[in-house]
Amino acid sequence: MVAHFLRLKLTLLGNTLRRSVWQTVGLCFALLYALFVVGSLVIGAIVGGGMNPTVTGHVITLAGAVAVVCWWVVPVFVFGVDQTLDPQRFTTFAIPHRTLVAGLAVAGVVSVPGLATALAAGGSAFAWWREPWLVPVALLGAILGLASCVVGSRAVTTVLAPLLESRRYREVVAVVAIIPLVLIGPAIGWASEEIGAVSRETTDDGVTVSTDGSLLAAVVARFGELVAWTPFGAPWSLAAAVHDGAWGAAASRFAIAVGTIAVLWLIWSRSLAKALVTPPVGGGRGARSKGLGWFGRFPATPVGAVAARCTTYWIRDPRYAAGISIIFLMPVILWLPARSSGNLDVLLLAGPVVAWVLAFGVSNDVGYDYTAFALHVATGTSGRADRWGRALPVLVFGTAVVVLVAVLTLALSGRWDLAAPLLGICLGTLGLALGVSSVASAALVYPVPKPGESPLKSPQGAAMATMLAQTLAMLITVLLALPLVVLGIWAFASGSLLVGWVTLVVGLVEGALLLVLGIRMGARTFDRRAPELLQQVQSFP
Amino acid sequence: MTHQTGPEGGTPAAPAPATPSDTMAPAPHATPPDLGAALSLRGLWKRFGDKVAVRALDLDVPVGSFYGLVGPNGAGKTTTLSMATGLLRPDGGTVHVRGTDLWAHPDAAKATLGILPDGVRLFDRLTGLQLVTYAGLLRGMDRDTVAERAHSLLVAMDLAADAHTYVVDYSAGMTKKIALASAMIHAPRTLVLDEPFEAVDPVSAANIRDILADYVAGGGTVVVSSHVMDLVQRMCDHVAIVGAGQVLAAGTVDEVRGDQTLEDRFVDLVGGRTRAEGLEWLRTS
């Protein structure tokens, strides 16, 4: 039965590739890249293992722990979990629950990141080639580590899915994401104290830090020892413990690793069983809204109607929440390194980044509409109305937000002398990125989670198209923003007021010009190929 | 008026892979489009990859008719209606809406069309009232007219109580009805409805039929696709049977069905009836 799942996954993958040459090319590049990374990691491990097995063991533990954390956390915030084998699709097949979970787990390894992790984990076991009897122990650890990666990521996403599908997604993500970020501050403080302690110890031993890097080794050893006792690092440190002859430690780490997997398996299995009988519903039941909402506030024109609809979606559609949550997160993310380094100027980056993220949020707006876009085609909505309508809410609310963030960061850093260039860069970025987005969303659409689907689902086989389209749009944005960035850096470095004011003027003029130009170009493309756009979104998997 | 232009008839595998220039060449005996018709399709082609969905389809929908388009699954009904309403660009052929070439002047033609596409979503994070309002404003109507018509449409569709509920929380039947309301808000002269009665409960279906009958009586034209023969026979005055991307028969309902029921005529034309043999194991007694 598990073999059936494997074959199904491979068949699905093969069929996707048969449909599109570009996807095949994309997969090949992804595989090559993964092979390169894995290859260098394994070679590094083997060489390191030959030179200093103890340190290498600690490094493997740390790297493995990072991999596990990434597997668990990244799908929640960034990519979503690969839903090629969506458990919902198996509900009608009366598959024994245990078989279903096992099948999904094994199939989860069959993906580029899964295979890469498996290869890297397996390869790292050969770091112990000087003592070959340790290799099987390390391999066992690698298998346990891989299992906790895959099972953990499934468990986390399955448990969180109902939360993230709900309309409260926005708040939940903001809160959940802030917790680890808030912890980074104390963690950095604690880590630097530890490093300080280690360096004092090493210096007491009379070792000079700069010559043989033993400070680094000592730091790695201290953290490696610690992480080895966590569920993240335990499986990877089995061989190291056996190598040191610490049989007790090895046994307890084994127990930690197996226990973690068992608990995760249980959590996943339980929440999957629950998810299968409570299919996702579109948000809370029977929610109501009074009156026309934004439709009553925007002018009664096609442009106003599209703007009202987009505003409503920014607020009500969890898929746009990522863009909004970044507004709250950005200052926090920048605040911590800024505080620990004592240089608050870093905070000033928040404004331009927020501007860019907001404007980039509409770069695949037609993809987000999915087939509801048919209404625009059926009503013969003009490209002008469509483009302006989508851009206006971002322009209006985005300007307010960006100015607010800019003022806030200026106040926190006390660099009011940089107000003019910062505002120029922020507003210029907003305008020009919005212009690029207006062209991009009429020219390149790519699959995204459909309306009402979990923002955690990444559509099957879409990663490459998404990446290509986003990279292209990003490159163009960066190129267009280059003059502004250069001026801004000049203003910052020279502290010249004149350059600052020039930056402001250039930012406003360039932003406005490129916005209008982008919308014109986007509108022309839209008028020419609206039916083709509709056909494209209809063909999304 | 309309029958297959190719000799291949019911054997879709027979024609050699035609190049686009072949397929888009107008058939030699093509009659010019009927400029007075509510909808006049000539030589429509559409292929998806290797599969030809619609091949050289001709169809005329007279003004003031209640036209049924019937056909088996995969016959090309949705593809045809999508091309006839400007949602899908044909590989070849023309569409005229009351004399206006749809694909040459899409804005003018679409302004007189009301469309209910099948298999597309709605902007379902809006409330029912907001969605209908949105459709009206996109058509460039003024706020007061939109408000007035939206209200009466919601009452007619029996959705007034759910006007402020989000469309995502509607049932399948309610979703069809709100989509229909969005298609009618600008008082189109022609309504093209793809599977309008799917998942609609009998009472609502009867209400919708009344609305449509009134609309036709007032001079409007309705095209509906369906695979419920009985419904089409009772409701429509004209019918076209579509199979394998072509019109197999078209005309008034009585012309098409002759002395048979529409369903028998349909099965005769389309073929593919199989006797339920070999499923003995399915018997439970």
Percentage of chain B beyond pLDDT 90 is 59
**pLDDT at residue number A183:** 62
CB contact under 8 A, A300 and B125: no
**pLDDT at residue number A433:** 95
**pLDDT at residue number A458:** 57
Between A327 and B229, the more confident residue is: B229
**pLDDT at residue number B3:** 44
**pLDDT at residue number B57:** 93
Q: Which of B89, B117, B140 shows the shortest C-beta gap to A374?
A: B117
The C-alpha of A5 sits at a distance from chain B's nearest C-alpha, in angstroms, of 28
User: Which chain B residues have a beta carbon less than 8 Å from that of A382?
Assistant: 107
Q: What angle do CA A405, A408, A412 make, to 5 degrees?
A: 135
Q: Which of A288, A317, A385 shows the shortest C-beta gap to B125?
A: A317
Task: Assess B277–A contact: CB distance below 8 Å, yes or no.
Answer: no
Size of interface A-B (CB pairs under 8 A): 120
Compute CA distances B42 → B84, B88, B159, B207, B247, whole Å: 10, 15, 39, 34, 11
Hey, what are B197's tokens?
A: 């009665």
The C-alpha of B179 sits at a distance from chain A's nearest C-alpha, in angstroms, of 10
Between A271 and B284, the more confident residue is: A271
Q: Which residues contact B244 (CB under 8 A, 6 or more apart)?
A: B10, B12, B55, B75, B76
Residues A265-277: pLDDT tens digits?
999 888 888 877 7
The C-alpha of A28 sits at a distance from chain B's nearest C-alpha, in angstroms, of 24
Hey, what are B140's tokens?
A: 């460039």
Q: Which of B106, B130, B165 shows the shortest C-beta gap to A292?
A: B130
- Distance between CA atoms of residues A157 and A78, nearest Å: 12
Complete DSSP assignment for A287-306: -B--TTGGGGTS-SSHHHHH
B 86-125 residues inside an 8 A Cβ radius of A: 86-89, 106-107, 110-111, 113, 115, 117, 119-125
The C-alpha of B96 sits at a distance from chain A's nearest C-alpha, in angstroms, of 16
Amino acid in position A455: P
**pLDDT at residue number A98:** 81
CB contact under 8 A, A452 and B168: yes
Between B212 and B282, the more confident residue is: B212
User: Which chain A residues have a beta carbon less than 8 Å from that of B134?
Assistant: 295, 305, 308-309, 375
CB contact under 8 A, B124 and A452: yes
Within 13 Å, how many C-alpha atoms sit on residue B3's CB side?
7
CB contact under 8 A, B106 and A306: no
CB contact under 8 A, A290 and B164: yes
Nearest CA in chain B to A318: B125
Q: Which residues contact A155 (CB under 8 A, 6 or more apart)?
A: A264, A265, A267, A268, A271
pLDDT at residue B41 tops 50 = yes
Q: Tell me the average pLDDT across B43-53.
A: 91
**pLDDT at residue number B129:** 94
pLDDT at residue B281 tops 90 = no
Amino acid in position B139: R
CB contact under 8 A, A369 and B123: yes
CB contact under 8 A, B87 and A283: no
Residues A468/A419, Cβ–Cβ less than 8 Å: no
The C-alpha of A522 sits at a distance from chain B's nearest C-alpha, in angstroms, of 18
In chain A, which stretches have pLDDT less than 50?
79, 167, 170, 205-212, 282-286
CB contact under 8 A, A300 and B143: yes
Exposed / middle / buried, residue B158 (Cβ in 10 Å: 0-12, 13-18, 19+): middle
Complete DSSP assignment for A254-285: HHHHHHHHHHHHHHHHHHHHHHHHS---SSST
Nearest CA in chain A to B84: A378
pLDDT at residue B15 tops 70 = no
Q: Measured between alpha carbons, how far apart are the two ends of chain B, in Å?
A: 52
Residue A388 dihedral angles phi and psi, to the nearest 5°: -65, -40
The C-alpha of B90 sits at a distance from chain A's nearest C-alpha, in angstroms, of 10
Q: Quick one: which H or E segment has residue A403?
A: helix A383-413
- Distance between CA atoms of residues B80 and A262, nearest Å: 55
Residues A488/A405, Cβ–Cβ less than 8 Å: no
pLDDT at residue B17 tops 60 = no
Q: Which of A302, A531, A538 shows the shortest C-beta gap to B140?
A: A302
Task: Assess B130–A contact: CB distance below 8 Å, yes or no.
Answer: yes
**pLDDT at residue number A206:** 43
Residue B6 dihedral angles phi and psi, to the nearest 5°: -95, 160
User: Which chain A residues have a beta carbon less than 8 Å from that of B130?
Assistant: 289, 292-293, 295, 309, 312
CB contact under 8 A, B123 and A308: no
Q: Which of A286, A302, A372 shows the shortest C-beta gap to B138?
A: A302
Exposed / middle / buried, residue A238 (Cβ in 10 Å: 0-12, 13-18, 19+): buried
User: Which chain B residues have a beta carbon less than 8 Å from that of A312?
Assistant: 125-126, 130
Q: Strands (DSSP E) along B128-230, which ranges?
A: 190-194, 221-226
Task: Assess B138–A contact: CB distance below 8 Å, yes or no.
Answer: yes
Exposed / middle / buried, residue B17 (Cβ in 10 Å: 0-12, 13-18, 19+): exposed
Residues A207/A214, Cβ–Cβ less than 8 Å: yes
Q: Quick one: which H or E segment has residue B175?
A: helix B172-184
**pLDDT at residue number A208:** 41
Q: Domain spanning B1-7+29-112+190-269: which CATH class is it, in words?
A: alpha beta
The C-alpha of B105 sits at a distance from chain A's nearest C-alpha, in angstroms, of 10
pLDDT at residue B7 tops 70 = no
Nearest CA in chain B to A370: B121
Between A470 and B51, the more confident residue is: B51
- Distance between CA atoms of residues A378 and A155, nearest Å: 43
Locate the domains of chain A by residue range: 2-169+230-277, 297-538
**pLDDT at residue number A172:** 58
CATH 3.40.50.300 location in chain B: 1-7+29-112+190-269
Amino acid in position B45: W
Task: Assess B142–A contact: CB distance below 8 Å, yes or no.
Answer: yes
Query: What burial letters (b/e) apply to B188-198, b meaning 16+ CB within 10 Å?
Result: bbbbbbbbbbe
**pLDDT at residue number A280:** 54
Exposed / middle / buried, residue B18 (Cβ in 10 Å: 0-12, 13-18, 19+): middle
Between B198 and B217, the more confident residue is: B217
User: Which chain A residues have a beta carbon less than 8 Å from that of B166?
Assistant: 282-283, 287-289
Q: Quick one: which H or E segment has residue A25?
A: helix A21-51
Q: Which of B106, B123, B165 shows the shortest C-beta gap to A286?
A: B165
Q: Which of A308, A309, A372 shows the shortest C-beta gap to B121?
A: A372
CB contact under 8 A, A285 and B182: no
- Distance between CA atoms of residues A407 and A430, nearest Å: 16
